[in-house]
Chains A and B, each alone.
Chain A
C-alpha cells in the first residue's frame, strides 16, 4: 500500500505520529494535565503565600474575610458548578455522536453560566467592595474598629483581589476558548472518534472551577461566620 493510500485511510483529526486514536487521545489528555499541573503550582504559589500570612496574621485575615459577602461567593460557586456540569454534557454529546445543535446548546449554556459568574463578580461583588472602600489602591479606607490591624486587613484584601482577579482572568480566557469550540462544532469538526479540543478545553474549564471551590472556602469562610 502506498503512503498516500495509508494517509487517505486516516480518520479525521488523526495525527499520523500516533499508533491509533486511543494513544492520541491519551497523549493529548496527559499533555493538558501537565499544563494543568503548572497551573496548580502557579495558583499554588499564591495559596502558599496566603496560608503563611493567614497563619501569621490570623485575626486580621478573619476581619478581612468578614468584609466579603458570603452570598456572592456561594452564588458564584453554584453558578460555576452548573457551568462545569453543562461543559461535561457538551463533551458527552460529542462522544455519543449527538446532533451538533445539542453540543452547541451545552457549550452556549456553559458560556452563559461563565458570563453570569463574571457579571456577578464585576457588577455586584467588586462594585460593592468599591463602595465599601475595601479595594486596595482604589479609595481603600482604614476603619477605626480595626485598630492597629488596618494594614494587615488591607493585605488580606490584596490577596483576595489578586487571587480572584487571576481566577477571573482564567474565566475570560475560558470564554474565548468556548467561543472557538462553538465555531469548530458548527463547522462539523467533531465526531465520536475525534473530540480532543472539547475534552482538553473541558479539563481547563473544570480546573478553573476547582480553583474557585478552594478560593471560596479559603477567602470567604475562614474563621467562621458565626
Chain B
C-alpha cells in the first residue's frame, strides 16, 4: 500500500510520513536561515526578512502539522477571522500610539504658506 492511498474510514485524511519529514526539514532550514540572516547587515530589511521567514514557518505548521490544508471550509474561515482580528488590533493600536506625536498643523499653515508663496513669487 503506497503512502498516498492510505485512507482510514470516515474521510480521515492521513498525511504521508514523507510530507511530515519534508515539512520538518523545511522548518529546520527556515530556523537556520533566519538565524544566519540576523548576522547579515541588510539595513532596514532585517526585521521584514525575519518576519517573512517566521510567517513561512507558520504556514507550514498550520497547513500540514495542524491539517488545515485538509480541514473544512468553516474551520479555515474561523482561523482567517482570528488573524484578521489580530490585524485590526495591531493596525488600530499603531495608528493611535505611533501618531500621537505628530503635529496636527505643522508650524501653522500661515507660517508655511507665506514663505512658500514668497519663494514662488520672488
Task: Tell me whether B97 and A210 are in contact (CB under 8 A).
Answer: no
CB distance from A176 to the nearest CB of B (A): 20
Mask, A31-60, CB within 8 Å of B = 1, is: 001101100110011011001100110000
Give the residue of A55, A88, A217 whose beta carbon is less than 8 angstroms from that of B50. A217
Q: Are the C-beta atoms of B40 and A214 separated by less than 8 Å?
A: no
Q: A37-B81, A224-B41 are in contact. Are A214 and B54 (CB under 8 A)?
A: yes
Q: Which residue of A lies closest to B45 (CB)?
A: A224
CA distance A174 to B9 in the complex (A): 29
Contacts of A81 in B (CB 8 A): 24, 27-28, 31
Chain B residue at minimal CB-CB distance from A77: B31
From B12, B57, B86, give the contact of A25 (CB < 8 A).
Answer: B12
A221 in contact with B38 (CB, 8 Å): yes
Q: What's the least CB distance linking A13 to chain B, in Å?
A: 11
Residues of A within 8 A of B (CB): 20-22, 25-26, 29-30, 33-34, 36-37, 40-41, 44-45, 47-48, 51-52, 55-56, 70, 74, 77-78, 81-82, 84-85, 87-89, 92, 95-97, 192-193, 199, 202-203, 206-207, 209-210, 213-214, 216-218, 220-226
Please name the residue on chain A nearest to B97 by beta carbon: A52
Q: Report the minimum CB–CB distance from B36 to chain A (whole Å).
A: 10
Q: Provided the pairs A25-B12, A224-B41 are in contact, do residues A213 and B58 lie with their beta carbons within 8 angstroms?
A: yes
Indicate the member of A36, A85, A88, A209 with the most B CB atoms within 10 Å: A88
Q: In chain B between 1 and 34, which residues have their CB closer than 8 angstroms to a CB of chain A?
A: 6, 8-12, 14-15, 17, 20-21, 23-24, 27-28, 31, 34
Report yes or no: B35 in contact with A44, Cβ–Cβ below 8 A.
no
Q: Would you give the 0/1 interface string for B101-115, flagging 1 where the beta carbon is closer than 8 Å to chain A? A: 000000000000000
The residue from B10, B14, B78 contacting A96, defined by CB atoms under 8 A apart: B14
Name the interface residues of B75-100: CB closer than 8 Å to any CB of A.
Answer: 75, 78-79, 81-83, 85-86, 89-90, 93-94, 97-98
Residues in A neighbouring B86, C-beta threshold 8 A: 40-41, 44
> In the bound complex, how far is the Cα of B18 from the Cα of A88, in angstroms?
12
Say which residue of A25, A202, A221 sits within 8 Å of B34 (CB atoms).
Answer: A221
Majority secondary structure, A binding face? helix
By beta carbon, the residue of chain A nearest B53 is A217
Given A25-B10, A84-B61, A84-B65, A224–B39 Cβ distance below 8 Å? yes
Q: Are B98 and A56 in contact (CB under 8 A)?
A: yes
In chain A, what residue has the closest Cβ to B39? Answer: A225
Residue contact A52 to B98, C-beta cutoff 8 Å: yes
| Contact A37 to B78, CB < 8 A, known contacts A96-B8, A221-B50 | yes
Given known contacts A30-B72, A206-B61, is B39 in contact with A226 (CB within 8 Å)? yes
